[in-house]
Structure 1
């Protein structure tokens, strides 16, 4: 899971990433059949895009005169839009081309060798999540991570994810991804997707995004309490106070740069890296402790103001009353 991309307000991503379009036809080639299964009546598809990425590598190496980005759009992004039924989606994170083709090719080869194991991990995590929180059908797309993205490998267990729509989850994997982190990430992203089915206002401002991340981490932690992730390290009272103060100042805004400040940290203000995850988890966990009778489905669908009002952090929105 990559905080830089996924945790941004989806409606504001265009402010940080350049949108592109392409009118070239999608190459007609045989697509590897997706892995399909059901949990009760909920249907899942796991769709690997390794073949499309290999085609991208081959086409770039042919030196056709097109830029790497143009080839990537044609060979990878356009097929994704068709398979996901997201025809109106413009090129943005998590779709990005790379110039390190040799490393990308090595990554794909390693991932293909471990594909059966990856299938099982993702499938089991989805079934476990759906048993606790059933919802609509989901498509999960798997891509190799950009080899130039060292942050994902070094700090995020080689896994990053994003929910692009309530029924579309994208996972990007490095060759050396941590299997436990993948389980956790699948559950985390699944919670986001389920929230998207009912809480349309969840990503309209920074505070909504913070609470959204808190819900997903509480959900994933409830399924995998033994898995430790770096963004959930406990905070002392002073640090919590500083993050709460920052949220009181910026929470109602939709500026992605301010949100990235929470994600990246701000030492001058005493705000640690991943502050959005840390305080979001604390807010949602405190709500659940105060309201144990509320079901997972109910608190997942609640808006941020309802959650905060029933938590130990009511001061964050006290000025709104």
Structure 2
């Protein structure tokens, strides 16, 4: 297993379990089995971590003497590391404890009501993605969004996703998640995971991160062209020129603060929100239009410099101070 070096990235963006109706402690209940299926010889597991989250809530309320973070590690994070085979992974985003236990419990209770529908959406998107772009086995972990992060997740249709390794995808959901956005996000993150199989997923520069997001958005748009996402709204010519100029200046940097400026936007420079996704999509789309003979698998694994050189944005890598 290869952990993905995505420290530059603000995850895309991009629920489900129970309220107990009896007196049996939640942490004594049998854990829900993963949902498993295959596409040709490629295997998938969808793993809901709602039992573990309920155990965490229960443990905090019992006030066992341990810290909130320690109980989260014991009840949720250790289970994830065991199930994902990521034993060396340290506690970090997207795994975060919360003190808003009531809100978290309400979300889990609400989301379980739509669990069957959610299963089908994720499964359909994975099978459709694998048919277009086959690869190695994948595990998809599903958690409720942290109550402290709901505003950020709401911006992305109630769905947040991140790839932690070439075979591990994590989805965090709000009860109000948009079904179309969930399909799109699964396809988007799946493309990241496939890219990680061929290049170790190492993103060393802002330019690499931008093109990587562009690949994933183009792939998701090929599968779901009818689904609109906010970062795909086209830029006018003046705005596009400003974003290109900014990327020419900072593209070789690995400073996450500069990358955040592209995602969050910088009005003083005329940089819109989601600029990294917007320009990444246009770069990759331009490359594909210029090279229709190149397969999805080929451009997914291609180095960002080659993608840019073959697009109408070749000037980006030719910039000199």
**TM-score normalised per structure 2:** 0.90
How far apart, CA to CA, are the structure 1 residues paired with 2:197 and 2:291?
Answer: 23
How far apart, CA to CA, are the structure 2 residues paired with 1:165 and 1:259?
Answer: 21
Q: Which has the higher contact order (CA 8 A, sep 6+)?
A: 2
Shift in Å, 1:155: 1.2
Give yes or no for contact 2:7–2:256 (8 Å, CA) kept in 1.
no
Label 1:195 to 1:173 Cα distance change in 2 as closer, same or farther (>3 A): same
Counterpart in the other structure of 1:76: 76
Counterpart in the other structure of 1:260: 260
Q: List per-residue Cα deviations over 1:168-209 (Å, max 9, x = no partner).
A: 000001111111100000000000000000023651111000
**Structure 2 matches for 1:83-162, cutoff 5 A?**
83-162=83-162
Shift in Å, 1:154: 3.0
How far apart, CA to CA, are the structure 2 residues paired with 1:72 and 1:112?
Answer: 21
Give yes or no for contact 1:140–1:169 (8 Å, CA) kept in 2.
yes
Q: List per-residue Cα deviations over 1:12-64 (Å, max 9, x = no partner).
A: 58xxxxxxxxxxxxx99743110000000100000000000000000000112
List structure 1 runs of 4+ shifted beyond 3 angstroms: 27-30
Counterpart in the other structure of 2:16: none
How far apart, CA to CA, are the structure 2 residues paired with 1:247 and 1:258?
Answer: 10
For the residue of structure 2 that corresponds to 1:198, the secondary structure is helix
Give yes or no for contact 2:145–2:153 (8 Å, CA) kept in 1.
no
Shift in Å, 1:70: 1.4
Counterpart in the other structure of 1:232: 232
Counterpart in the other structure of 2:272: 272
**TM-score normalised per structure 1:** 0.90
Label 1:262 to 1:9 Cα distance change in 2 as closer, same or farther (>3 A): farther
Counterpart in the other structure of 1:41: 41
Counterpart in the other structure of 1:3: none
**Structure 2 matches for 1:50-61, cutoff 5 A?**
50-61=50-61
- When the two structures are aligned, how many residues end up with a matched partner? 300
Label 1:223 to 1:103 Cα distance change in 2 as closer, same or farther (>3 A): same
For the residue of structure 1 that corresponds to 2:226, the secondary structure is coil
Label 1:153 to 1:250 Cα distance change in 2 as closer, same or farther (>3 A): closer
| Structure 2 gaps, min length 5 | 10-26
Shift in Å, 1:278: 0.2
User: Which stretch of the first structure deviates more once superposed, 108-117 or 200-209?
Assistant: 200-209
Counterpart in the other structure of 1:250: 250
Shift in Å, 1:152: 3.5
Shift in Å, 1:69: 1.4
Label 1:236 to 1:202 Cα distance change in 2 as closer, same or farther (>3 A): farther
CA RMSD, 1 decimal: 1.6
Counterpart in the other structure of 1:20: none
Counterpart in the other structure of 1:218: 218
Give yes or no for contact 1:152–1:159 (8 Å, CA) kept in 2.
no
